[in-house]
C-alpha cells in the first residue's frame, strides 16, 4: 500500500509519462531519399535537420536504399541538409513543420561539374532523344521544387527535377522523308527502344531502314545500333554503342557499289571529388567499299574546377562526331568518308587539342579557348549533276577517288590536310528557364580554291589550300514555354569561298549558315494520340557557300561546306 505521498508521487509520474507521450505524438518528422544526379541511391549520406537558430535538431545516416528518417521534431522552421564525401552538399530551406507534420524531403547530391554544365555542347544529330534535351547551362542541385502542395500534415518536396521518376521503358517509331543529303535521303522508317534497369543501367536499340522511291533498283539502306550504359561510383558512368551501317546507294570510284561500316564506340567518365572530371573513350571502326579501311579515334576531356565560378579544361579529339562522353547518347554515328587517297583506301583524320578557361557570369557562361589542329586528311563535300563518267574519271590511275551517293549526286573526297591554330570565345545566356542563347566567335583556317586555279573533279583535292579566316555563330537551343516546341537553330557565318569549316571541331561546325532542327508535339483534343510529334531538320537553308565548277563532261558541280538538306517526319512515342 502506498501512503498519501506515494500516491501523489505515483500520480505525478503517470501524468509526466502521459504528457511526454502527447508531446511525442505531436512531434513532427522528416523522411526521404538521398540520390546522386544520375538517380542512384546514396548509402551512408549524412542528413541533418537544422533549426532557425542554427541549432542541430536531428541527424541520421541513409540506409542501403538511400532512405532516412528523423523524428521528434518540435514545430518550427527548419533546414534539411545532406552531405557525403566527394559531393556538393544539397539542402532544402524554409521547411515549416506543424505539430505532428510528416514531411518528405528528397535530396540530390551532385558534383561541382554536374551543378553547372555548359557549352561547348555536342554537335547536332537528327535522332536526338525526344525527352532528353541538353541545355548549355543547367542546375541539378540546390534547386527545390514542390512536387505536391501541402495537404494536411503531409509535405512532399524535392531539391531537384532529377527526382521525377524515369520511365522504365520507352518505344519510339518515326517516319521521315526528304533530301537528307549524303547517305540519308529518301524515306526512312526508324524504330527506337530504351529501357532503364532497376540498378540504373540502360539498354538502347536503334534501327533505321531507308528506301529511295525514285531509285527502285537500289536496295534499302540499313542502320542498326545497340547501346549499354551503367552507372559507376562517385557519379561516374560507362557506355558502349555497337553500330552497323550498310548503304547500297554508295558508289566507289571504281564502280564498286555499297558502303558498309562497323563501329564500336565506348567511353567512361569519372569524377575526382569536386576538383576534376575526366572523360575518355573513342571509336574503333572498319569500313568496306572497294576495299577495307580500319582505325581508331580516341578522345580525352579533363575539366578542373579550382573555384565554384571558374573552370579550366583540356580536350583532345580525333573525330568530329564523338568528342566527349555525352556524344555517346546519340546512337547514330556519322557515315565516314572512305575512298582512294594517295593510292590506297583511307578515311579522313586529324588531331584536335584545346585548352579552355570558363567563368560563370550570373546564370550564363563565358569560355575562352585556344586550340591547335593537325589535320592529316580533310573530307570535302560536293554535289550537283554527277554522272557515272565523273565517278569513273576519279578512279583513273594516279587520281584520288570519291565516294558518291548515286541517288542524290552528292559526293565526298579527301583533300590534303594542314595545320592551324586559333582562338574561340563562347558566351551563353538564358532567355527563359528553358531557352538559351549562345554566341561564338572563332579564328582558324579552312580549305578554299587556290588563286587562279580552275578546279576539275579528278584533281579537286589538289586544287584546294588552307586559308586563314574567322567565323561567328548565333544559336538558340531549348524549348519554347507555351508551345512546347523543342528548338535548335543556328546561323554560322564564315567566308563563302571556304569549302570546309573553320575550327571543324567546334560545337556548331556542322551547321554552316542557317540551319535548324524543330520538334513539335501535335495535339488536337482527343483526335490525336498523346506522344505524336512532328520534326523538321534543315541544314544551310539559304544554300550559301556554294563554289561551282564544271566536270569533265561539262556538268555543273559544286563544293560546299554543308550542302542544303531538308527532312521532315512524324514520330510516335509510346
pLDDT value, residue 26: 58
Write out pLDDT tens, residues 237-273.
889 999 999 999 898 877 788 899 999 999 999 888 7
CATH superfamily of 4-163: Carboxypeptidase-like, regulatory domain (2.60.40.1120)
4-163 and 169-573, same CATH topology: no
Omega within 30 of 0 (cis) for the link into 222: no
d(CA 211, CA 188): 7
d(CA 344, CA 287): 13
What's the fold here for domain 169-573?
Porin (2.40.160)
Boundaries of every domain in the chain: 4-163, 169-573
d(CA 408, CA 213): 12
Percent of the chain exceeding pLDDT 70 equals 81
pLDDT value, residue 15: 44
pTM: 0.71
DSSP 524: B
DSSP 327: G
Write out pLDDT tens, residues 410-440.
889 898 999 999 999 999 999 988 889 999 9
pLDDT value, residue 123: 55
Q: How far apart are the first and last CA of the chain?
A: 77
Q: Can you give the three-state secondary structure of 276-309, one letter per residue? A: EEEEEEEEEEEEECCCEEEEEEEEEEEEECCCCC
Strands 310-317 and 349-361 turn out to be: antiparallel
d(CA 389, CA 458): 11
Nearest-10 Cα torsion for 318, 319, 325, 328 = -150
Give the cell for residue 554: 561539262
d(CA 173, CA 190): 6
Compute φ and ψ for 127, nearest 5 degrees: -105, 30
pLDDT value, residue 181: 84
Which of the residues in the chain have pLDDT under 50?
1-2, 8-9, 11-13, 15-25, 112-122, 125-166, 397
- Long-range (24+ apart) CB contacts under 8 A made by 511-514 are 511/123, 511/124, 511/473, 511/539, 511/562, 512/539, 512/540, 512/544, 512/545, 512/560, 512/561, 512/562, 513/540, 513/541, 513/542, 513/544, 513/545, 513/562, 514/490, 514/538, 514/540, 514/541, 514/542, 514/544
Compute φ and ψ for 7, nearest 5 degrees: -65, -40
pLDDT value, residue 6: 53
Amino acid at each position: 500500500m502506498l501512503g498519501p505521498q506515494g500516491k501523489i508521487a505515483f500520480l505525478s509520474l503517470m501524468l509526466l509519462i502521459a504528457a511526454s507521450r502527447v508531446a511525442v505524438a505531436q512531434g513532427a518528422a522528416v523522411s526521404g531519399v538521398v540520390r546522386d544526379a544520375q538517380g542512384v541511391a546514396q548509402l551512408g549520406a549524412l542528413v541533418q535537420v537544422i533549426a532557425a537558430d542554427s541549432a542541430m535538431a536531428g541527424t541520421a545516416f541513409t540506409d542501403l536504399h538511400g532512405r532516412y528518417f528523423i523524428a521528434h521534431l518540435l514545430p518550427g522552421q527548419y533546414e534539411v541538409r545532406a552531405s557525403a564525401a566527394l559531393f556538393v552538399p544539397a539542402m532544402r530551406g524554409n521547411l515549416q513543420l506543424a505539430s505532428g507534420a510528416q514531411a518528405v524531403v528528397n535530396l540530390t547530391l551532385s558534383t561541382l561539374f554536374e551543378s553547372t554544365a555548359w557549352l561547348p555542347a555536342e554537335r547536332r544529330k537528327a535522332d536526338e532523344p525526344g525527352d532528353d534535351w541538353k541545355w548549355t547551362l543547367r542546375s541539378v542541385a540546390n534547386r527545390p521544387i514542390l512536387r505536391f502542395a501541402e495537404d494536411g500534415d503531409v509535405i512532399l518536396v524535392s531539391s531537384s527535377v532529377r527526382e521525377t521518376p524515369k520511365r522504365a521503358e520507352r518505344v519510339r517509331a518515326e517516319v521521315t522523308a526528304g533530301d537528307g543529303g549524303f547517305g540519308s535521303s529518301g524515306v526512312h522508317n526508324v524504330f527506337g527502344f530504351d529501357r532503364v534497369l532497376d540498378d540504373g543501367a540502360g539498354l538502347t536499340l536503334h534501327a533505321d531502314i531507308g528506301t529511295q522511291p525514285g531509285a527502285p533498283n537500289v536496295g534499302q539502306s540499313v542502320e542498326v545500333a545497340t547501346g549499354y550504359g551503367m552507372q559507376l561510383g562517385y557519379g561516374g558512368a560507362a557506355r558502349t554503342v555497337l553500330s552497323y551501317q550498310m548503304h547500297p546507294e554508295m558508289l566507289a570510284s571504281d564502280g564498286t557499289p555499297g558502303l558498309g561500316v562497323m563501329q564500336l564506340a565506348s567511353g567512361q567518365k569519372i569524377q575526382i571529388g569536386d576538383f576534376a572530371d575526366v572523360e575518355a573513350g573513342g571509336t574503333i571502326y572498319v569500313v568496306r567499299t572497294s576495299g577495307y579501311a580500319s582505325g581508331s579515334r580516341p578522345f580525352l576531356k579533363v575539366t578542373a574546377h579550382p573555384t565554384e565560378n571558374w573552370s579550366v579544361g583540356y580536350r583532345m579529339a580525333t573525330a568530329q562526331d564523338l568528342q566527349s562522353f555525352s556524344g555517346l547518347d546519340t546512337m547514330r554515328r556519322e557515315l565516314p568518308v572512305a575512298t582512294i587517297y594517295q593510292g590506297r583506301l583511307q578515311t579522313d583524320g586529324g588531331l584536335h587539342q584545346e585548352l579552355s578557361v570558363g567563368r560563370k557570369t550570373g546564370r550564363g557562361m563565358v569560355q575562352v579557348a585556344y586550340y591547335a589542329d593537325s589535320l592529316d586528311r580533310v573530307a570535302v563535300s560536293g554535289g550537283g549533276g554527277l554522272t557515272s563518267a565523273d565517278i569513273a574519271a576519279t578512279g583513273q590511275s594516279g587520281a584520288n577517288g570519291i565516294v558518291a551517293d548515286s541517288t542524290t549526286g552528292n559526293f565526298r573526297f579527301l583533300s590534303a590536310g594542314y595545320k592551324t591554330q586559333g582562338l574561340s570565345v563562347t558566351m551563353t545566356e538564358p532567355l527563359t528557364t528553358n531557352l538559351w542563347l549562345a554566341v561564338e566567335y572563332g579564328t582558324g583556317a579552312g580549305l578554299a580554291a587556290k588563286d587562279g586555279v580552275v578546279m576539275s573533279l579528278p584533281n579537286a583535292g589538289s586544287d584546294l589550300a588552307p586559308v586563314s579566316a574567322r567565323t561567328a555563330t548565333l544559336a538558340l537551343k531549348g524549348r519554347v514555354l507555351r508551345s512546347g516546341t523543342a528548338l535548335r537553330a543556328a546561323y554560322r557565318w564564315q567566308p563563302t569561298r571556304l569549302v570546309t569549316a573553320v575550327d571543324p571541331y567546334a560545337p556548331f561546325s556542322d551547321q554552316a549558315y542557317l540551319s535548324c532542327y524543330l520538334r513539335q508535339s501535335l495535339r488536337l483534343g482527343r483526335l490525336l494520340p498523346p506522344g505524336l510529334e512532328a520534326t523538321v531538320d534543315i541544314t544551310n537553308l539559304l544554300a550559301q557557300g556554294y563554289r561551282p565548277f564544271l566536270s569533265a563532261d561539262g556538268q555543273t558541280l559544286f563544293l560546299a561546306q554543308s550542302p542544303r538538306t531538308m527532312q521532315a517526319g512524324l514520330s510516335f512515342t509510346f
